[in-house]
Amino acid sequence: MKPETRTEATRHGIFLDRELSQLAFNRRVLAQAEDPSIPVLERLRYLCIVSSNLDEFFEVRVASLLAAASVDGKLSEHPALTANLNRVSGECHALVARQYEILNTEVLPLLKEHGVHLLRRTELNDAQNAWLKDYYEREVRPLLTPIGLDPAHPFPQVVNKSLNFIVALSGKDAFGRGTAIAIIKAPRVVPRVIKLPDELSENGVSFCLLSSIIHANISDLFAGREVLAYSQFRVTRDSDLWVDEDEVKNLRQALKGELQGRQFGRSVRLEVAKNCPPELSQFLLDQFDLDRTRLYQVDGPVNMVRLNEMIDHAKKPELRFGPFVPGVHPTGGDIFATLRKQDILLHHPYQSFQTVIDFIRSAATDPCVVAIKQTVYRTGMNSDLMEALILAAKLGKEVTVVVELMARFDEEANINWADKLEQAGAQVVYGVVGLKTHAKIALVIRREGTGEHTELRYYAHLGTGNYHPTTTKFYTDFGLLTSEPDMGRDVNEVFMHLTSLAKPQKLQHIWLAPFALQNEIIKAIRNEAKIAKSGKPGRIIVKVNALVDESVIRALYAASQDGVKIDLIVRGACTLRPGVPGLSENIRVRSIIGRFLEHSRIYYFRNDLAHDVYLASADWMSRNLFRRIEVAFPVLDRALKRRVMAEGLNPYLKDNTNAWELEPSGHYQRRKPRAKQTPFGAQHYLMKTLGTPAE
């Protein structure tokens, strides 16, 4: 492909579109579902991941675009905003159409060949029909509340992303009135995928969708009326929470109220069945105040994410990725004694997160530990770490937990943990008003020594990922355990800032957002440019989840023009145009999509052979650099620096099986091994190198 010149790039804009770049990431995930070399249940899982990603994309990004393009609640005629919405809409429709095509023409037929059946109503035999009819009568019908629409029964409130049905009826109701439309809400307490008994499953395991069961029995709900047409439907709503943090006196209480309202935010998308009659889909669009560009007619379940239930219940290990057991870092029994001798670097999920859990558990019960401080962004509904902090508080230790109540879609879990921690006696704070606390840090303060010769010593954990028991098994992240005194003091200073709201004192090692992180990043980039202009090699390698901050991108462009060689490994949205002569010809961008979600953030600057390596909680986005509390921290030990390079960067630059390279146009091309080139996948290499062989 002909490379874009700087003139061409400038004409199109030196930045790529953020939303289209995010959708391009979902295209790369969808390519995993298309890959015949991947086990078929995992291909189905990738389809579900795309659906989940698109849900959030509509709830947040599309909702934001619609809000920006609206005046007094109505879409404006601004050409640029309208054109951008149309481009995003076109790509979303194409992506969804391809998603269902893969499901129906590839994944479901393959599953059927391997004895995993998702049965349509037309495929059921008499025995299966009888069992499902009995299931419907026992488990479903008592929970249904059909609503015939009339002035006394207006269109009901429809919960965000819930399963519903619209029914067109003929004739008159029991009171002689011609109520032509009815709405049925699927009960949320009933599974969306129902497994049939083994004795009714020929050649394997069989499933049926709740939507199919309700469809088969819709007429039963309207005795004396003829069902003319019906369709399942699902509406997606704006799900960003907003509270006036300058006005509320108790953020936790305010959020509890807002969480209820999230279910009924502004509508942004309507999904209906492919065969939904136009008059019914238009009726729904009118009810939700949506135009037809927001309508998605799908050939299958309106919520493909629910098919994860089918994956979980299909006992077919041969249709999944092979088992993987993470390696366990030896700690010698006494983790504090080990840390006094050396730092510990952990690379998840290739190395177990259990070491971090053991670190906090040991601190909770160690009589020499006097205080534990930790940030919580995402931790899930069940967490050994949170239980250890609760135990520590009950044992009388000073426990301080900075809980981020505004962590999107984890607000409820975090509120619950905040309640439990406070009841145990922990000091719980909610970070800084207007800023999300996204840093992943923990600090243990231990009194050491004997007699009068005692001192307080810091032991810290700093990570690129959340303290979440599930994601640590599927997200790639680095964590550093250290007793280096200055690093410990820096971490404590960050906690002092978060709790006291005082301006942080000068930090020795940590780059802290929103105060210094962007400035330090740009300073490091410019330093490489200065080195390159002096005739020495300038080198930058960065691994992040997203790159959209314009000031950082401009600094990278300038460094490229000064001769710095730059490699960027960006999993998701990237608005930098690489490879444009005269602008970014020394910049390459690649994305790795594989079995695990790439989540680690690594910044490497050659710095005239100083080889500065930073791990961070922050992506290179304006929100991370200015609207969140984030930390980037150096890896000081030379051997551990080499490990980060050898595990976190070099394999990803070498990958030729799961790597996608970004072109100046914004399109991604998948890398393939060249002739006589050995296939190499970074994740496969790390699993083999760091993991424990499965028994």
Residue 68 lies in a domain: yes
pLDDT given at position 609 = 96
**Residue 8 clears pLDDT 60, i.e. is over it:** no
Could you tell me the two tokens for 578? 């690489």
> Same structural domain for residues 451 and 581?
no
Confidence of residue 78 (pLDDT cuts 50, 70, 90): low
671 and 660 in contact (C-beta within 8 Å)? yes
Residue 592 sits at the vertex; the CA angle it makes with 24 and 562, to the nearest 5 degrees, is: 85
> Catalytic site residue 153?
no
Query: Would you give the distance in Å from CA 231 to the centre of its chain?
Result: 30
User: Does residue 326 sit within a domain?
Assistant: no
- 475 and 517 housed in the same domain: no
Are 257 and 352 members of one domain?
A: no
Cα–chain-centroid distance for residue 577?
24
Residues 528, 470 share a domain: no
Regarding whether 216 and 87 lie in a shared domain, the answer is yes
Note whether 344 and 275 are same-domain residues. no
Give mean pLDDT, residues 408-420: 75
How far is CA 491 from each of CA 374, 443, 498, rounded to the nearest angstrom? 10, 7, 11
Is 527 marked as binding a ligand?
no
Examine the domain organization and report whether 521 and 425 are in the same domain: no
Shared domain for 561 and 502, answered yes or no, is no
Number of DSSP helices (H) and strands (E) in the chain, helices first: 22, 29
pLDDT band at 1 (very low <50, low <70, confident <90, very high): very low
Predicted pLDDT of residue 178: 59
Q: What is the pLDDT of residue 241?
A: 45
599 known ligand binder? yes
Smallest CA-to-CA distance from 5 within 549, 524, 577 is with 577
Query: Which residues contact residue 666 at a Cβ distance below 8 angstroms, ignoring those fewer than 6 apart?
Result: 16, 17, 20, 21, 24, 577
Residue 180 in domain = yes
**CATH number of the structural domain spanning residue 668:** 3.30.870.10
pLDDT surpassing 80 at residue 26: yes
Q: Which two tokens stand for residue 95?
A: 């992506």
Among 188, 175, 180, 174, residue whose Cα is nearest residue 234: 188
SS3 of 175-233: the string is CCCCCCEEEEECCCCCCCEEECCHHHCCCCEEEEEHHHHHHHCHHHHCCCCCEEEEEEE
Same domain, 273 and 391: no
The identity of residue 534, as a single letter, is S
**pLDDT mean across residues, the chain:** 90
Closest CA to 66 of 255, 283, 257, 236: 236
Could you tell me the pTM of the whole model?
0.91
| Count of domains for the chain | 3
Question: pLDDT digits over 618-644, tens only?
Answer: 999 999 999 999 999 999 999 999 999
- What's the CA gap between 55 and 543, in Å, rounded? 26
pLDDT digits (tens, 9 = 90+) for 183-195: 999 999 999 999 9
Tell whether the model's pLDDT for residue 361 goes beyond 90. Answer: yes
Q: Provide the 10 A C-beta neighbour count for residue 675.
A: 4
- Report residue 470's pLDDT band, with 50, 70 and 90 as the boundaries: confident
Q: Using an 8 Å Cβ cutoff, are 43 and 85 in contact?
A: no
Is residue 456 scored above 90 in pLDDT? yes
Burial class (CB in 10 A: 0-12, 13-18, 19+), 41: buried
Structure tokens at 673: 């091994």
The per-residue pLDDT for 503 is: 83
Q: Residue 173's pLDDT band (boundaries 50, 70, 90)?
A: low
Residue after which a domain boundary falls, among 319, 346, 363: 319
How confident is the model over 429-455, as a mean pLDDT?
A: 88
| Residue 557 marked as a ligand binder | no
DSSP 575: -
Contact 236, 269 (CB under 8 A): yes
Angle subtended at Cα 69 by Cα 68 and Cα 72, rounded to the nearest 5 degrees: 90
Token pair recorded at residue 659: 């790597």
The single residue listed with the structure tokens 């981020």 is: 404
Per residue in 236-278, pLDDT tens?
Answer: 998 764 444 444 444 445 444 444 544 668 899 999 999 999 9
| pLDDT above 70 (res 693) | no
* Cβ neighbours of 295 (radius 10 Å): 20
Q: Which phi-psi region, left, alpha or beta, contains residue 425 (left: φ > 0; alpha: ψ -120 to 50)?
A: left
Q: Which residue has the tokens 């289209």?
A: 20
Q: What percent of the chain has pLDDT over 70?
A: 90
Rounded (5°) CA angle 543-24-18: 75
Q: How far is CA 52 from the centre of its chain?
A: 9
Rg (CA), the chain: 27
Give 291's pLDDT tier (boundaries 50, 70, 90).
very high
Domain identity same for 449 and 531: no
Q: 149 is in which domain, residue-wise?
A: 6-319
Q: Is 539 annotated as a binding residue?
A: no
pLDDT value at residue 583 = 96
Residue 1 inside a domain? The answer is no
Judge whether 534 lies within some domain.
yes
Query: Is the pLDDT at 152 greater than 80, yes or no?
Result: no
Cα–Cα distance measured from residue 194 to residue 213, given in angstroms and rounded to the nearest whole number: 9
> Averaging pLDDT over each range in 102-106, 320-324, 435-439, which range is the top one?
102-106
Q: Which of the residues 329, 438, 461, 468 is marked catalytic?
A: 438
Question: Are residues 549 and 464 part of one domain?
Answer: no
How many whole angstroms separate alpha carbon 660 and alpha carbon 35?
14
The H or E element spanning position 346 is: strand 344-348
Lowest-confidence range among 175-184, 215-224, 546-555? 175-184
Q: How far apart are CA 459 and CA 368, in angstroms?
A: 12
Peptide bond into 349 cis (omega under 30): yes
* Domain end among 506, 531, 551: 506
Establish if 652 belongs to a structural domain: yes
Kindly state whether residues 25 and 140 are assigned to the same domain: yes
Residue 292 predicted with pLDDT over 80:
yes
CATH of the domain at 248: 3.30.1840.10
The stretch 669-673 carries a mean pLDDT of 94
User: How confident is the model at residue 10, as a pLDDT?
Assistant: 53
Per-residue pLDDT, averaged over 355-369, amounts to 96
Last residue of a domain, one of 475, 506, 537: 506
- Token pair of 192 as six digits: 């969306």
SS3 247: coil
Answer whether residue 695 is part of any domain: no
**CA-CA-CA-CA dihedral for 651, 542, 51, 660, to nearest 10:** -50
More confident residue, 91 or 65: 91
Cα 416 from Cα 435, distance rounded (Å)? 21
- Give the model's confidence band at 72: pLDDT under 50 very low, under 70 low, under 90 confident, else very high: low
Residue 328 lies in a domain: no
